[in-house]
Amino acid sequence: MLTHAQVQRYAAQSGLRDIMIAEKEIVLTYALQLFAERGLLGKLAFKGGTCLRKMFIGSQGRFSTDLDFTALEAHEPEEMIIEMMVAFDEPFHGVSFTLADGGYYETQDGLSWGVNPTYSHEWNPDGQSEIKLQISRRETPTLQTQPLAQREQGYFVHLPFEPARITAIAFEEIIAEKIRACYQRSKARDIYDLGMLATRPLNQPLIRRLVIIKLWQSGDRFDPARLMAKFEDGKDFDWDDLGQLVRRDQRINPKEITGACLRGFGFLADMSEDEKALAADPYRREYTLWERLRTEIAAR
């Protein structure tokens, strides 16, 4: 593991309030490397906030404390957990990971599962710190996944390994999943990510269709006006959750973030007639239409 001084320097350069957030960012890199070297990522595609930071936008993104994946093929959680426990048998470049027997959870619908391995190293030896890892079996990616190099970070020069390429879902699909998350829940980290992305050039038709498809797959209708109203109000989001995940010099201004989302994602309302039909079908009766729209964009 990197020395305390090296992590402290990285935390200062990153403007973090808490060195332990910097430590966890680095431990996540070690965990990804361990999983890659042990072949544990072959059936998975990286996604979520940590993926957005590590694979696409680098230091511009907020920090994250978990690892989210989508399953690329059917698997039994128990088999993968056994593989993880074998991988955790030996310390990995000075970091020891521990996964308790039976220490995994499954969501009520059975479509996602996760583990929270603890870790320790020379200057954080108590074994109480943990990372959160979740794997979704809810849906396979719509767009083609691809192995990507991790975006350079200041601490990479001190790593005892060359950071592995990680298979990730497409950038537009990550954005679509963030929009779906904002539509269905109220985590400030989701709307923060969208607010940062809202000013970038985006493939609007592709993202809109992905949002509609993903909400249809989860049995939910898509009403853009409802999402815009949620953005405009902004009161549902747990803004305090962001405090430790952004630089000290970054002021969390909910009005600026929600305003950026209102301006940047208004295109979600510009639906075609086919998209309107699928968006209005929470009971998933329009299977043929869903299949056609999904096939059209998957082939791009």
Domains and CATH numbers, the chain: 4-168 (3.10.450.620), 171-298 (no CATH)
Tokens 């809810």 belong to 138
The residue count of the chain comes to 300
pLDDT at position 107 is 80
Distance in angstroms (rounded) separating the CA atoms of residues 100 and 117: 8
pLDDT at position 79 is 87
Which tokens hold the place of 129? 């710190």
The predicted model scores a pTM of: 0.92
DSSP tag of 95? B
Q: Are 74 and 113 in contact (CB under 8 A)?
A: no
pLDDT at position 210 is 97
Task: Output the tens digit of pLDDT for each of the chain's 300 residues.
Answer: 999 999 999 999 988 878 999 999 999 999 999 999 999 999 899 999 999 999 999 888 888 889 999 999 877 888 888 888 899 999 999 999 998 876 788 887 778 899 999 999 999 999 889 999 999 988 899 999 999 999 999 999 999 999 999 999 999 999 999 999 999 998 899 999 999 999 999 999 999 999 999 999 999 999 999 999 999 988 888 888 777 777 776 778 899 999 999 999 999 999 999 999 999 999 999 999 999 999 999 766
